[in-house]
A = this chain, B = another copy of it.
Amino acid sequence: MSAPQLSVLFFLQMFVILAACRLVGAAARRVGQPLVVGEMVAGVLLGPSLLGLLAPGAQAALFPPESLKVLFVTAQVGIGLYMFFVGIEFDVEVFRRQMRSAAAVSLAGMIVPFALGAALAPWLMQMPGLFGEQVRSHEAALFLGAAIAITAFPMLARIIYERGLAGTQLGTLSLAAGAMGDAVAWCVLAVVLASFGGGAVVAVKAIGGGVVFTVLMLTVGRLLLTRLGAAAERDGRLTPTMLSTCLMLLMLAAWATDAAGIHAVFGGFLLGVAMPRGLLTRELQRDLEPFTVVFLLPMFFTYSGLNTRLDMVNSLPLLGVALVVLAASCLGKFGACWAAARLTGSDNRLALAVGALMNARGMMELILLNIGLQKGIIQPPLFAMLVLMAVVTTLMASPVFELVYGRHARAEGKLRETPPVDD
């Protein structure tokens, strides 16, 4: 397709996506799901699983494969920006006080999934057509472990942000544990890819690059950003040059983490964490958040739905395997995170809430699974099972959170009301 053809289509796609997200989002809110779940469901409805079944011609005309690349890129920009705001809301002080607990939760949320991955992999490898034929058993175990371990960091962030929890004990604990856990999961994926043919450099780049980036951003980066913050305070406003500078830094941070092989969301998040709080961050949020949240973000969550094919788990044995994978995933993430939070001093309700949030897989899982599928590590049926697991754990997160924590916390006035659709 030529560039002008792509751009005509993009306008139409965005109209359809925004309309679907508003409609399904309003419905999702009615049944107690957050807007973000509505956006993912809207994507599934617009994708091969519904629109593609009802009107395959229209679906193919509206979302031809090449146009999905443009949606993907703009969606990545949106999620990078969004994670920047999440980082800004992240309370470093609260985090310091909870470091031990956060480390324990994220550690447990990795060790148990990888143990389960190691236990399940030999069994799954006996079945034909799940893993790629050249995959060795340790690679299968690591990939499965990473798939179980991963958290929907952006979605977790969004639920926390929507509920006004970003600066609280619960919010900080979950965000920190989610970020650490996911960073490790991406590094493990890099190890698998390295072992599976990419060469050691893939793993070194991801792990080394991630560490170097984090350290630089939180030391030198933070220092330089303080000056920018001071300049904004002095001027009493955010000039276009300052805004442009911040956007440049964001692009650079997203590029650096993305190019290293961990995801662009970390670049955005860490830049946000490193920002000096004050007029600068308030004005940045004021200037950039509406467009990000209302226009760019729906693209990210809808995109993940657009690529979900639920029709591939199509026999009873496969469904059985899928259920085992699902159970193991919930046990490995929800169970392990709950236990770790309890053991490091959180009360039961808070620990359950952390487990519920950490258990959502969302888009990050889908990105990881797509890489696995592209590289031939997993095959379509296992891909579909893991997608199913991702969808179910994502849909579970909000109701379970509400059940174990939300209604109590709200009764005690510790939690913002579920915001209406229009908030």
Bound CA span A248–B16, Å: 8
- When C-beta atoms are compared, the residue in chain B nearest to A66 turns out to be B69
Q: Does A6 contact B (CB under 8 A)?
A: yes
The reply to whether A255 and B3 contact each other, CB–CB distance below 8 Å, is no
Kindly specify which of A179-187, A236-244, A319-327 makes contact with the partner chain.
A236-244
The reply to whether B8 and A258 contact each other, CB–CB distance below 8 Å, is yes
Bound CA span A176–B288, Å: 31
Partner of A11, one of B6, B255, B294: B255
Q: Does A311 contact B (CB under 8 A)?
A: no
Copies of this chain assembled into the complex: 2
Partner of A241, one of B8, B68, B258, B422: B422
Q: Does A55 contact B (CB under 8 A)?
A: no
CB distance from A399 to the nearest CB of B (A): 23
Q: Assuming A18-B251, A239-B422, what are 17 further A-B pairs, CB within 8 angstroms?
A: A2-B69, A4-B258, A4-B367, A4-B371, A8-B255, A10-B76, A11-B76, A11-B252, A12-B251, A15-B251, A15-B255, A240-B293, A243-B290, A244-B295, A287-B290, A288-B290, A291-B291
23 chain-A/chain-B pairs, Cβ below 8 angstroms? A2-B69, A3-B69, A4-B371, A6-B72, A7-B72, A7-B76, A8-B258, A11-B76, A11-B77, A11-B251, A11-B258, A12-B255, A15-B248, A15-B255, A18-B247, A19-B248, A21-B244, A239-B422, A240-B293, A240-B422, A240-B423, A241-B422, A288-B290
- On A, residues with C-beta under 8 Å from B are 1-4, 6-8, 10-12, 14-15, 18-19, 21-22, 68-70, 72-74, 76-77, 80, 239-241, 243-245, 247-248, 251-252, 254-255, 258-259, 264, 287-288, 290-295, 367, 371, 374, 421-423
